[in-house]
Chain A
Amino acid sequence: MFKLEKKANIDKSSVFMVPLSAIGCSLIFVFILFILLGKNPTLALFIIFIEPLLSVFGISELIVKSTPLIIIALGLSFGFRAGVWNIGAEGQYTIGALSGGATILAFYPMSGLWLLPVAFLVAIISGALWGMIPGILKAKFNTNEILVSLMLTYVAILFLSAMVYGPLKDPDGFNFPESRLFHDSGILPIIFHGTRAHVGFLIAIFLVVMMHFLLTRHMVGFFIKVSGESPRALLFSGKSRNQIIYLSFIICGGLAGLAGVIEVSGPIGQLVPAIPVGYGFTAIIVAFLGRLNPVGIFLAGLLLALTYIGGEAAQIKLGLPNAITGVFQGVLLFFLLAADAYTKYKISLVNIRWKI
C-alpha cells in the first residue's frame, strides 16, 4: 500500500502547508456534501465562510465565539506538547463558568470594579482544581487521564444543571431553570458599541502573547517540550514527569475555567444549563490546527469560530442542518492528521502483498 520513510529534517514550510492543505481538503469535502444535500455549494460556502466577514455583526460574533476557543486551546496545547491528554476541558470550562457565575451572584447587588477580578480568580482556581483531579489520579495511581477527564466533564455538566435547577435558580424567575441576570458590575465591558464583542477577546490576545513568551523564552516552555518529545531526557534535568503532569492540568484547567467565566460574564450574562456547548472539544481541533503554537491557535480559533457563525447563517438562509459545523470540524481534524504524515514521512506507493 504505502511505504513511509522518516524524513531526516522536516520542511519548515510544512507548518503552514499542513493546516492550509487540510482546510482545503475539508472545503472540497463539504463542497461535495452540499451537492449531495441538493444545495448550491458555491453559495453555501460563501454564506458560511465569506459573508460573516463582511458585516460588523459577523465580525463581532467572530470575536465572541473565538474567545473561549482560543483561551481553552492555549491551555490544551500546553498539555499536548507535554504528552498529557486532557480532553476534559469542556468540564473545566463548565466549572469555571459555574463558580465564577456563582461568585457574581453571591455579591448581588453589590457593585464595584473588584467584582469581576474576584469572579475571574475564583473561576481560574476552581477550573485548575477540577483539572487537577485527573492530574493527581494520573500521577498517583497511573489512572488513564483521558477517561477520567472525560467522565468529569459529564459530572461537571450535571453539577451545573443541579445548581441552576436548585440553589442558583432565579428567585423571581417563575421557576425557570436559570439564574438571575448578572448586574452591571458582573458583566464584561463591550469593545464595540452596539455589538456583543467584549473585553474577553483582548484577554485572549494578551494570553496568546504571554503563552508565546512562556514557550519560547522561559524554562517552563522548554521543560514542557522535553517532556513530550523525550521523557527520559526530562528525568536527567531533575524535573519529574509528575510535576509536568500537574503543571499541564493546572494551566489547562485554569485557562478553561477562565474561558468559562468570560463566557457567562460576557455574551450570556447569567447561568443557564446550556453553557457547555462543546467549545472544550472544538478547542482540541483548534489546538491541533494551530500546530500547538499560540499564534497559530489564534488564527485557528478564528476559523473554527467562523464555522459556528457560518453554520448558523447557512441554517437560517439555506435550511442546511446545523450539524454541518460538526461534520466540517471532524473532517478537518482527519485531514490534518493525514496531512501530518506528509511532513514527517516520505510516502511512496508499493505493491500490496497481503496474504492470510
Chain B
Amino acid sequence: MDLYIAIFQGIIIASTPLVLASIGELIVEKSGVLNLGVEGMMIIGAVSSFIVTYETGSHLLGLLAAIISSGLIALIFGILTQYLLSNQVATGLALTLFGLGLASLIGQSYSGITIESFPSLEIDILKNIPIIGDLFFAFDYLVYLSVLMVIGTYLFLNKTKRGLILIATGDNHDSAHSLGYSVKKIRLLSIIYGGACAGLGGAYLSLVQTPMWVENMTAGRGWIALAIVVFAVWRPLWIFAGAYIFGGITIIQLHIQATGVNIEAQYMSMLPYVVTILVLVFISMNKNRLAVNAPNCLNKLFTSDI
C-alpha cells in the first residue's frame, strides 16, 4: 500500500509543473497566440526563484521572482509578436533559446547548492485521516494552487464576460476588434499571464521537485506542456488528464526501472516523449473536435489596432 501511495504522490509532484505551465499556455492560445517559448520561460522561473529563495530564505519571494521574471521575458515575446508583428513560431523559439542561455548564465554560481524544502499543507486533522490524508492532504501549497488555477481558468473562460471576450479574441480577432476590444492589449496581458504561469511551473521544479538548481533542468517539460494543451483540446479541465497522464508515465517508468526490469534505462526514459507523439496523433485525427475547440485565429497575424 505504501508503495502505491508513494507512486501516487510522485505522480502529483511530477505533474504539477506541467499543470501550471500548460494552464497558462492555454489562456495564451485561447487568446489566439502561439507562444512556443514555454521551455524558456519555465527555466527562467526555475533559476530566478531558486536564487531569490537561496539569498533571502523566503520561498514566497522566490515564487514572486519567478512570476515577475518569467512575466517579463514573456513581455519581450508579446511586444515582438503583437507590436512588431514578428513571426510567433520563430519568436517563441528565440524565447526558448534565450531563456536557456540566460538561465545558465545567471544560475552558474548556484548549481549544486540545495535549499530548504518547500512548506507543505500542515492541517493535522486532515493529514491524519488514514490513506486519504496521505493521498490528498500531504502536498505543498503549490499543488493545491495548481488545482485551483485550473478550476479558476475553467470558470473564467466559461462563466465570466472577460473570459468570453478572451475566447472571442482568439476565435475572430476582426470581430472582437470591431466590437471595440483591444485585441493586442488582451493578447499582451494573456502572454504575460502565461509567462507567469510557466515561471511558477519552473519554480516548482527548482523549489519543490528537486530543491536545487541544475542547468537545463526543465528537460523538455515546456514542450510537453505545449503538447498537453493540444491534448486537452483547449479545454481547461482536461489539462488535469493530460498533465497527470504524462506525470504518471514519468513516475511509473522510474519505478519499473527500479524493479530491475531488463530494459535499458534510456528506452524507459523515451516513454514520455513517445507517448506524447502518439497522443498528439490520436488527438489530431479527430478534426471536428479540434475545429470546435481550437482558437480559430491561433498563430494568425493581426495588424489593425494599436
Contact = CB atoms under 8 A, between A and B. Distances in A.
A155 to B, nearest CB: 5
Interface string A328-347: 11110110011011001100
Given A152-B273, A154-B270, A352-B306, 9 more contacts: A137-B281, A137-B284, A144-B280, A146-B36, A152-B277, A162-B266, A165-B266, A337-B86, A337-B91
Interface stretch (B59-67, B101-109, B190-198): B101-109
Nearest to A329: B97
Interface string B77-121: 000100111110111011101111110110010000000000000
Nearest to A164: B266
Contacts of A137: 277, 280-281, 284
Contacts of B84: 2, 4, 337-338, 340-341
Given A141-B281, A143-B281, A288-B90, A334 B80 contact: yes
Interface stretch (B153-161, B206-214, B220-228): B220-228
Contacts of B94: 285, 330, 333-334, 337
B98 A331 contact: yes
Interface residues of B, number: 47
Contacts of A147: 223, 226-227, 230, 276-277, 280
A327 interface: yes
Contact of A323 (B86, B108, B185, B227): B108
Contacts of B277: 137, 143, 147-148, 151-152
Nearest to B268: A158
Interface string A308-328: 000000000000010111111
Contacts of B273: 151-152, 154-155, 158
A158 B269 contact: yes
B105 A324 contact: yes
Contact of A354 (B104, B182, B270, B285): B182
A6 B185 CA distance: 21
A337 B80 contact: yes
A109 interface: no
A4 B85 contact: yes
Contact of A285 (B83, B97, B280, B285): B97
A146 B264 CA distance: 28
Tell me if B's interface is mostly helix, strand, loop or mixed: helix
Contacts of B90: 284, 288, 333, 337
28 contacts: A2-B83, A2-B84, A142-B284, A142-B285, A142-B287, A142-B290, A143-B280, A144-B284, A151-B276, A151-B277, A155-B270, A155-B273, A158-B267, A159-B270, A166-B264, A323-B101, A323-B102, A324-B105, A327-B98, A327-B101, A327-B102, A327-B105, A334-B76, A334-B80, A337-B87, A337-B90, A338-B80, A340-B84
Interface string A23-55: 000000000000000000000000000000000
B175 interface: no
Interface in B112-134: none
Interface residues of A, number: 53
Interface of A: 1-4, 6, 85, 87, 137, 141-144, 146-148, 150-152, 154-155, 158-159, 161-162, 165-166, 281, 284-285, 288, 321, 323-331, 333-334, 337-338, 340-341, 344-345, 350, 352-355
B178 interface: no
Given A151-B277, A331-B98, A333-B90, A161 B80 contact: no
A147 to B, nearest CB: 5
Interface in B40-88: 76, 80, 83-87
Nearest to A149: B277
Contacts of B281: 137, 141, 143
Nearest to A284: B93
Contacts of A323: 101-102, 104-105, 108
A244 to B, nearest CB: 17
Given A141-B285, A148-B280, A321-B108, A330 B99 contact: yes
A4 B97 contact: no
Given A165-B266, A334-B94, A329 B306 contact: no
A4 B85 CA distance: 9
Contacts of A150: 220, 223
A87 B100 CA distance: 16
A326 B91 contact: no
A219 B91 CA distance: 31
Contact of B98 (A165, A288, A334): A334
A330 B100 CA distance: 9
Interface string B262-297: 001011011001101100110011010010000000
A151 B223 contact: yes
Contacts of A340: 84, 86
Contacts of A328: 101
A284 B303 CA distance: 26
A288 B89 CA distance: 12
Interface string B242-260: 0000000000000000000
A194 to B, nearest CB: 33
A328 B98 CA distance: 8
B270 A158 contact: yes
A48 to B, nearest CB: 14
A78 to B, nearest CB: 16
